[in-house]
Structures are given as C-alpha cells and as structure tokens.
Amino acid sequence: MRPRNTRKSEITILEEGFTARDFMEEIITGDCQIDKDAFLVADLGDVVKKLLRFLKTLPRVKPFYAIKCNNCRPIVKLLAELDLIVPARQKLHWSRNLELNLTISFMQTPVNVPYQVCSQMMTFDNEVELFKISQNHPNAKMILRLLADDTNATIRLNVKFGAPLTICRHLLETAKKLNVDVIGVSFHVGSGCSDPKTYAQSIGDARLVFEMASELGQKMTLLDIGGGFPGTDDSKITFEEVADTINDALDLSFPEISGVNIIAEPGRYYVASSFSLAANIIAKKVLSPPELCGEENGRKKNMVYYINDGIYGSFSCSFFEKTLVKPIIYKKPSPEQPIYNSSLWGPTCDGLDKIAEHLHIPELNVGDWLLFNNVGAYSMVTASEFNGFQLPKIHFVMPHQTCVFLLSENVQCC
C-alpha cells in the first residue's frame, strides 16, 4: 500500500487501496516533517474523475480547462495531453515551457498582442475592439461575448466583460461593415454560479444573437457557455443540477440538427476538490475575560491560533472570495473536551492575514496539524511569498487505477 515515485516524474503513483489522504497522513507522521512545514497534496485522479463526469453528464459540450484557475505544471500537462486546454493570452509561454502543442485562443477582451502571436479566435464586446481587430488582425474569427446575469456567482465577471443583448445587433452590423468574421457567441455566468437558471437564460439570449446574425447573412457555428460550474460536493447546487438545466436549454435553443459546436471553460470544477492542505499551528494566544469586548463574552476564553500558511499562500482566494474555511483537526479530540470560540490567522505581519473566525472547536496546541480540503481553485495561482514566507510544497499523486486508465487511452502524463 506504499506510494512509489514514478521515474522522471513529478507525480507519485499510489498503490491499490492507498489514497491521497493516506499519503498526507504518512507525510505528517514521517521523519521528514521535523520542521512541520505546511504542504499540499494534489490528487490527479480526482481531476480525471471530474473530466469523465463532465463528459458523461454534458455529452454535447466539449470542456476546455481554464488555466488561470490553477496553472500547476502536472495539472496543465495532464489536461493538455487530454486535449482539454483552454486558451488564455497570458499563458502563451506554456506551449514552450511544457513542449506541448496547445491550441491558443483569446477568450477574453480586450486584446492587445502582436499579430504574429495572435490566435484565430478572439472575443469582443464593443465597437472599439472590432475596429482594432479589423486593422490589426483582419483574418480573425471573432466571438461576441454576451453579458450574462452573474448576481448569484461567487465572483462576478460581467461587471467588466460582456455586451448587453440590446446592442448585439449593432455590433454584428458593425462587424459586417468592417468585414470582420463573427463565428459565434460566448458568455460566462460568473465563477461559482449558484443558480442553474442563469445558464438557461444566457443560452436563450445567445439563440437570439444567432438569429440576428442569420438575418444579417452571417452564419455562426460556435457557442461557448463559459464556466462557473461547482467544483465541490458542498456547493449550493450540484453539477448534475447545472447539467440538467444546460442540456434542456441546449435541446431547446441549439438542437443537434443546428450543427452548432458547444464548448465550455471549466476551471474550479476540475481542480477545487483535488487539492488538500496540511498546516501546522506555530503559535497560540489565549484571550482571557478582561481582554474581551463586552461582558456577554466574558464567560469563556477565546482562542487565537497562528498557522504556517495564510491568505498570501493557499488561502489567497480569501481576498476575492467570501468562503467559509472549515479546518479539520488531525488529532480527533475527545467528546468531553470543552469548545471555545476560536480564530485562525496566517504567519505574516499583516493584520489582514485572517483565515477564519468564530470557529467553535476544542483547545489546540502548538504543533497540532489542521487539514483543509477543497483548496485547488484560485489559491496557489494567486499566492505570493510576501513577508519572506515560502509557499507550501505540493505533492502530486495519482491512484494506480487512474494511471492504468490513462495509459489505456494512450495519455502519457506520468
């Protein structure tokens, strides 16, 4: 049941019956953790499971991974080998560094890159972009980015991008006058969407834009439904709920007979649940009753814990996501232990480095481990070494059965 390293690989293959959690516990209890540094374990098998789930549940939609969500090399290499890399202009260097044959397209606006590195496909949502493209890249295949309702998303994107439905006809007319080829429509309902009906509304709006283009003699062939899919089991909605809504909307507005190609750009869906963090308590403070604000809080002491990772590291998404951090205590406390109101802080000198508060947990000690699940999306990709603290090491693992499956599909990822 012991893990073994693959030859010339960043990935550790887990033997039958050995899980990513087992691997994490082995590191915690091993001799190599004398300094008790924080570390991450990334389960590539979880990523593959998510892919197979997507293909089964949304059979008409081809998913392309959004690298901006998590650009760790083994993740990108795996999905690139599976031909599921999505396009982002800031990631052009991946095709050189990874020696991969990536298909690059620019699925956001505005675009301002040299002609010689331009993709054929780019998005636009305003006249200025159309004029710029007509002058600098007249052979581009343009995709009109439609404004979507993202009020129920964790991170809203349409405050920055997207054309309202009311101006789409004008934009299509302008594109025709400039002889710019518009081949499709895209939209994004926001990262971490919690309302499946938003997809249905956006797909219906996209159908109207297709009809506008048809009336102008322009034939569109591509619909990009973006991302926003839930990436964890504790999300407000399930992936299956979202998929059912999308499938019904596509059957209504874009039936297979239409010949329109449907693609998507999942990011957090693939990687959110694949990463887990182990961090150590490096300091502790007890707030006794005299220090507490308000007599009502004076009955019990409050606990303050500092761990060796924080919002400048694996919790960097805390800057733009309001998510509830739920630590798992590695050493299970006994039921008789009293519960205290506790807060959790990172290691830096910044007063903003607060990970969680109002945690009702037993008293912990310096040296104890805390585990955190679902930290794969928009975490390490936005992390820094602020205050001189190094980022946690990432251990990439893959279950043996996943490796066998990939090899049977001729995927050379490990």
Looking at 241, 270, 299, the residue that finishes a domain is 270
- Give the tokens for residue 55: 């293909």
Which H/E stretch holds residue 359? strand 354-362
User: pLDDT value at position 90?
Assistant: 34
Q: What is the DSSP letter of 316?
A: G
Nearest to 227 by CA among 59, 64, 108, 381: 64
Q: Are residues 239 and 293 in the same domain?
A: no
Q: Are residues 300 and 318 in the same domain?
A: yes
CATH number at residue 266: 3.20.20.10
**Tokens 């549940």 identify what position?**
57
pLDDT tens across 106-130, in order? 455 444 443 343 457 889 999 999 9
How, if at all, do strands 275-287 and 302-307 pair? antiparallel
Q: Are residues 242 and 277 in the same domain?
A: no
Other beta carbons within 10 Å of 16: 8
Q: Are residues 322 and 244 in the same domain?
A: no
CA 333 – CA 336 distance, rounded (Å):
8
Cα-only R_g, the chain: 24
User: pLDDT value at position 47?
Assistant: 95
Other beta carbons within 10 Å of 56: 9
Contact 147, 163 (CB under 8 A): yes
CA 265 – CA 189 distance, rounded (Å):
11
CA 141 – CA 261 distance, rounded (Å):
14
Our measurement of the distance from residue 39's CA atom to the centroid of its chain's CA atoms, rounded to an integer in Å, reads 19
Specify the pTM: 0.85
Does 413 reside within a domain?
Answer: no
Looking at 270, 287, 306, the residue that finishes a domain is 270
- Separation in Å, CA 150 to CA 69, 118, 235: 18, 29, 16
User: pLDDT value at position 153?
Assistant: 60
Does 405 reside within a domain?
Answer: no
Count of domains forming the chain: 2
Angle, CA 47 vertex, CA 354 and CA 236 arms, to 5°? 55
Contact 4, 26 (CB under 8 A): no
Looking at 218, 237, 270, the residue that finishes a domain is 270
Q: Are residues 344 and 261 in the same domain?
A: no
Angle, CA 265 vertex, CA 380 and CA 166 arms, to 5°? 120
Q: Are residues 143 and 237 in the same domain?
A: yes
Does 394 reside within a domain?
Answer: yes
Does 406 reside within a domain?
Answer: no
User: pLDDT value at position 236?
Assistant: 84
- Give the tokens for residue 108: 């956001």
Nearest to 140 by CA among 120, 125, 115: 120
Other beta carbons within 10 Å of 356: 18
Q: Are residues 260 and 315 in the same domain?
A: no
Give me the chain's average pLDDT, please.
84
CATH number at residue 363: 2.40.37.10
Does 222 reside within a domain?
Answer: yes
Q: Are residues 129 and 232 in the same domain?
A: yes
Q: Are residues 84 and 229 in the same domain?
A: yes
Question: Roughly how many angstroms between the first and final C-alpha of the chain, as a whole number?
Answer: 19
pLDDT tens across 278-331, in order? 999 999 999 876 544 444 444 578 999 999 999 999 998 877 776 678 899 988
> Residues of the chain whose pLDDT is less than 50?
1-2, 4-8, 86-106, 109-118, 291-298
Q: Are residues 227 and 331 in the same domain?
A: no
- Give the tokens for residue 33: 């953790």
Q: Are residues 137 and 264 in the same domain?
A: yes
User: pLDDT value at position 328?
Assistant: 92
- The domain containing residue 360 runs over which residues? 4-43+273-400
Does 412 reside within a domain?
Answer: no
Nearest to 308 by CA among 272, 328, 281, 337: 281
Q: Are residues 118 and 243 in the same domain?
A: yes
User: pLDDT value at position 256?
Assistant: 94
CA 94 – CA 137 distance, rounded (Å):
23
Contact 44, 398 (CB under 8 A): yes
Q: What is the DSSP letter of 290?
A: G
349 is catalytic: yes
- The residue from 69, 349, 413, 414 that is catalytic is 349
Does 21 reside within a domain?
Answer: yes
Question: For 309, phi and psi rounded to 5 degrees?
Answer: -155, 155
- Give the tokens for residue 107: 């699925």
Does 414 reside within a domain?
Answer: no
